Chain A
Amino acid sequence: MSPIHYVALSVILFVIGGVGVLVRRNAIVVFMCIELMLNACNLAFVAFARMHGNLDGQVIAFFVMVVAAAEVVVGLAILMAIFRARRSASVDDANLLKY
């Protein structure tokens, strides 16, 4: 397939992930949708690497994976700490910045 198909697929997955972030209330599910968005970007990078004919895109995708892993670790630790304090995993409960 020409790389454009992969990029189109990546766009679709990215948008679906974005909608998921906006619509879901469970914090863990929101996190997972963010992971979906990151994966979609990875796919696009790999497709561009194939388009250019060098491996730079793959290296970038590799680093993205590493960073995503670190981010997940810290994010979930924060989630655990919040859950311990508040007994709720809903994203809507953190609304103290309300007007």
Chain B
Amino acid sequence: MSHILAATPSGTNTDSIAVETVFWILAFISVGAALAMILVRRAVHCAIMLAVVMLCLATMYAMQGAPFLAFVQIIVYTGAVLMLFLFVVMLIGISSSDSVVETIKGQRAAAGLAAIGLFLILILSIGHAAIGPAARTTAANNVDNLTGLARLIFTTYVFPFEVTGALLITAAVGAMVLAHRERTAPKPTQRDLAARRLVSGQLAPDPAPGVYALHDAADRPALLPDGSTSELSVSQTLAPRDPNEETPPVRPELPAPAVTEAES
């Protein structure tokens, strides 16, 4: 692992067999996860598959001599952004799923066609492009990855860096604005609430369920606050009894008392 992390500026043309093997395994896993992502029906499953892809990619960054980027991918991208996705899925409906039927005619066929076309074109172009082997690094980059990145960000790319900062601030403010719910009326104070209660005539809150219960038998229906009974409160296997019926005290049948003649 460490030699992977350290494999950077002085990278050579060919990697070791271990790196190759890892690459092929990760490649298949990521492609499979991506395909699964677009084929599963539930949104949560999609998010999980995307997480798998991102983790594979993080590993690949590490293999290519970008350890900083690998960790940022895991921490920020997978850890923060994807979790954000999962929060929204939870809020919107965890069980919401797409139907399989396509509503737009010919969309799937056209999408497939476009995809194959773009794939072929891109493969052709990179085939023709001069993508050479991994280069030997120059002397200036003979420091470790983090220092090199820092040097680039804060010198050559400092302006984009500042702008990106502004972008982040804007995004945060924007999110707050979008999620904000405007009050249409002023917030009622305690005085307003008390006045409302007075006017409505019901000063005390409604009693909690069970306060007015006279009985707690299972076959006796519960009382609603206005005094009516609720049929739903009794199990259907039992026969509900009239709630107003006074239950006779339950006494065991006692034998008749032995009345002595002597008393009469």
The reply to whether A51 and B98 form a contact with Cβ atoms under 8 Å apart is no
Q: Is the CB of B175 within 8 A of A42?
A: no
Partner of A32, one of B37, B76, B115: B37
Selected from B81, B88, B131, the residue in CB contact (under 8 A) with A68 is B81
Bound: A25/B169 CA distance, A: 31
Q: In the complex where A59-B153, A62-B153, A81-B179 touch, is A6 in contact with B167 (Cβ < 8 A)?
A: no
B69 and A46 within 8 A (CB)? yes
Q: For chain B, what secondary structure do more than half of its interface residues adopt (helix, strand, loop), or is it mixed?
A: helix
Known: A55-B145, A65-B73, A79-B88. A19 touches B179 (CB 8 A): no
* Chain A neighbourhood of B149, CB < 8 A: 55, 58-59, 62
> Is A15 within 8 A of B115, CB to CB?
yes
A19-B178 CB under 8 A given contacts A3-B131, A36-B53, A67-B167: no
Which residues of B are found within 8 Å of A80, using beta-carbon distances?
88, 91-92, 178-179
B31 engages A55 (CB within 8 Å): no
**A9 within 8 A of partner (CB):** yes
User: Interface range on chain B: under 10, 10 to 19, 20 to 34, or 35 or more?
Assistant: 35 or more
B168 touches A66 (CB 8 A): yes
* Nearest Cβ on chain B to A70's Cβ, whole angstroms: 4
Which of B38, B47, B64, B115 is A50 in contact with, Cβ under 8 Å?
B64
Chain A contact-residue range equals 35 or more
Partner of A70, one of B50, B107, B167: B167
- Asked if residues B46 and A54 are in contact (CB atoms below 8 Å), the reply is no
What are the residues of chain B within 8 A of A13 when measuring CB–CB?
A: 30-31, 34, 53
Of all chain B residues, the one with the shortest Cβ separation from A22 is: B111
- Report yes or no: A6 in contact with B64, Cβ–Cβ below 8 A: yes
Query: How far is it, in angstroms, between the C-alpha of A32 and the C-alpha of B66 when the chains are bound?
Result: 24
Q: Write out the residue numbers on chain B whose beta carbons fall within 8 Å of the beta carbon of A61.
A: 66, 69
Q: Which residues of B contact A35 (CB under 8 A)?
A: 50, 81-82, 85
**Nearest chain A CB to B38's CB is how many angstroms away?**
4
Residue interface bits A1-20, CB-to-B below 8 A is 1, else 0: 11111111101111111111
Contact flags B139-158 to A (C-beta < 8 A → 1, else 0): 00100010011001100110
A72 to B168, CA, bound (A): 11
Q: Are B178 and A17 in contact (CB under 8 A)?
A: no
Which B residues touch A43, using CB under 8 A?
57, 60-61
The 3 closest A-B pairs by CB, nearest first: A53-B135, A20-B38, A70-B171
Q: Given A20-B38, A66-B167, 15 more contacts at CB 8 Å?
A: A1-B23, A15-B122, A16-B31, A16-B34, A16-B35, A22-B107, A22-B114, A29-B37, A29-B98, A49-B66, A53-B137, A63-B160, A69-B80, A73-B171, A76-B88
Give 12 pairs: A residue, B residue, CB < 8 Å, sorted on A. A1-B23, A5-B27, A8-B126, A19-B38, A19-B112, A20-B34, A26-B97, A32-B85, A43-B60, A43-B61, A70-B171, A78-B178
